[in-house]
Amino acid sequence: MNAIDTGDTAWLLASTALVLLMTPGLALFYGGMVRSKGVLNMIMMSFVAIALVTVVWLVVGYTLVFGDDIGGGLLGGLEHIGMAGIGPDTVHGTVPELLFATFQLTFAILTAALISGAIADRAKFSSWMVFVPVWTLLVYVPVAHWVWGPDGWIAAFGALDYAGGLVVEIVSGASGLALALVLGKRIGFGTEPMRPHNLPLVLLGVGLLWFGWFGFNAGSALGANGTAAAVFVNTLVAGCTGMLGWMVVEQRRDGHPTTFGAASGVVAGLVAITPSCGWVTVLGAAVVGLLAGVVCSFAVGWKFRFGYDDSLDVVGVHLVGGIVGTLAIGLLAAQIMTNGAEGLLYGGGLTQLGKQALCVVVVGGYAFGVTYLLGKMIDRTFGFRVTADEEAGGIDLALHAESAYEHAVLAHGNPGSHGPFGGHTGLFPPHRDEDRQRRDPDSDDSTAPGNA
């Protein structure tokens, strides 16, 4: 039996706290993007995911992911139901298994919370509370076992995913697209300005996400070692080049870079490096981040072309960025990092790229299909969307009987909002450049913010 290593344990304790912090960071990030009448609901959707997923994970989720495979690499067994058989001295590798289980829990929490950005401003909070635990069991748990579980079929197949490109990014993006289609478009989508109400809050959120992402990626080394150091550097580099790539596109396309674009680019780079951070060199990480920043800056506009209302661009950033990073492994994987597999550009041929592409299709298709069916079932049973009056009057007041800015100017100066906080006072006239949004390529009007 392996002994607990105190250095590895200390690093994983810190990493677990860092990843858990990402969900409150995401709450602020998303909260700043929506209009002022929906900020509390947006934040609450992330916070309640912490409680719901934690209960599901500790009761049955962990054992279904990391229990002994029950056949075909599809699902784990029930030997650890209710965390049975796991105590303070139980070891996973060189760390306590209780700590490993909690570290993995923080990934599941964040993945569920990410989906909320696709249905901002129009989902019933009660239905969201039903959706999260059921979705965790039906979608997240099986995919996590396929990729990370003992004898999971994707791991056995040879596809690589270091910290969650398939499990977190593609799963959340495909699920967000499915729910956005189930709930339909927001009132005024494509015709009415829906500006982010608080850009400093967005930047604070992305700062916390970036900080937590070091635990997300480097913590996945499960030890205080050279691999963790290499992954840490790759995570930093990809976030930087993602930001630069997005800003370059904005400068050439719109004539000026924006704070919102910079924040979006950071997240795009971090999303893409998540699956590849342990398999590429520093140069490869720079390329992955830059590519994601450029591609995702265009992908956030696809919703206008194809007519789906992904409110905060979970699809444009997480799904597309996750695909970019997962496929990049097939191009840029270096033997010095993988100790085996090599990407096409390093002389490895098309084999690894083909494996990555196949798993992208299977995981994305599974997550979309199951989420769509689950969303439809909840919609027909409980109703998943608020009424038109509740949406127009403000989802915070309608669902939580609260408002974020009860006595603040922001509560009255939000262009395009309705109800008690609607209308512009004239004290702070809106500026298109300062309250930047993704543009509908077929219209001169600004529309919803894009990013997740």
Q: Which of 44-48, 234-238, 276-280, 433-437 has the lowest mean pLDDT?
A: 433-437
Q: How confident is the model at residue 191 (pLDDT cuts 50, 70, 90)?
A: confident
Q: What is the pLDDT of residues 99-131, one digit of tens each?
A: 999 999 999 999 999 999 999 999 999 999 999
Residue 388, CB-side half-sphere exposure with 13 Å CA sphere = 3
Instruction: Note the pLDDT of residue 192.
Output: 86
* 439 neighbors 447 (Cβ within 8 angstroms): yes
Report the phi/psi class of residue 188: left, alpha or beta, with left for phi > 0 and alpha for psi in -120 to 50.
left
Mean predicted confidence (pLDDT) in 223-248: 98
Residue 5 has pLDDT above 80, yes or no: yes
Q: Which of 107-121, 167-181, 188-202, 358-372 has the lowest mean pLDDT?
A: 188-202
Q: How confident is the model at residue 186 (pLDDT cuts 50, 70, 90)?
A: very high
Amino acid at 40: L
CA 147 to chain centre: 17
Instruction: Note the pLDDT of residue 286.
Output: 98
Q: How confident is the model at residue 185 (pLDDT cuts 50, 70, 90)?
A: very high
Instruction: Note the pLDDT of residue 1.
Output: 61
How far apart, in whole angstroms, are the C-alpha atoms of residue 107 and residue 103? 7
| Stronger pLDDT, 407 or 58, i.e. the higher one | 58
Q: How confident is the model at residue 294 (pLDDT cuts 50, 70, 90)?
A: very high
Residue 303 has pLDDT above 90, yes or no: yes
How far apart, in whole angstroms, are the C-alpha atoms of residue 177 and residue 43? 20
Contacts (Cβ under 8 Å, ≥6 apart) of 292: 238, 242, 245, 268, 269, 271, 272, 273, 321, 324, 325
Q: What is the pLDDT of residues 235-245, one digit of tens each?
A: 999 999 999 99
Residue 143 has pLDDT above 80, yes or no: yes
CA 286 to chain centre: 21
Q: How confident is the model at residue 193 (pLDDT cuts 50, 70, 90)?
A: confident
Residue 261 has pLDDT above 90, yes or no: yes
How far apart, in whole angstroms, are the C-alpha atoms of residue 308 and residue 296? 16
Return the residue matching tokens 């609450």: 44
| Stronger pLDDT, 298 or 416, i.e. the higher one | 298
Instruction: Note the pLDDT of residue 120.
Output: 97
Strands (E), 279-431: none
Q: What is the pLDDT of residues 57-107, one digit of tens each?
A: 999 999 999 999 998 999 999 999 999 999 999 999 999 999 999 999 999
Q: What is the pLDDT of residues 340-398, one digit of tens each?
A: 999 999 999 999 999 999 999 999 999 999 999 999 999 999 999 999 999 999 999 99
208: which 2 tokens? 């916390």
Q: What is the mean pLDDT of the chain?
A: 91
Q: What is the pLDDT of residues 423-449, one digit of tens each?
A: 333 333 333 333 344 444 444 443 333
Residue 15 has pLDDT above 70, yes or no: yes
Return the residue matching tokens 């100017």: 409
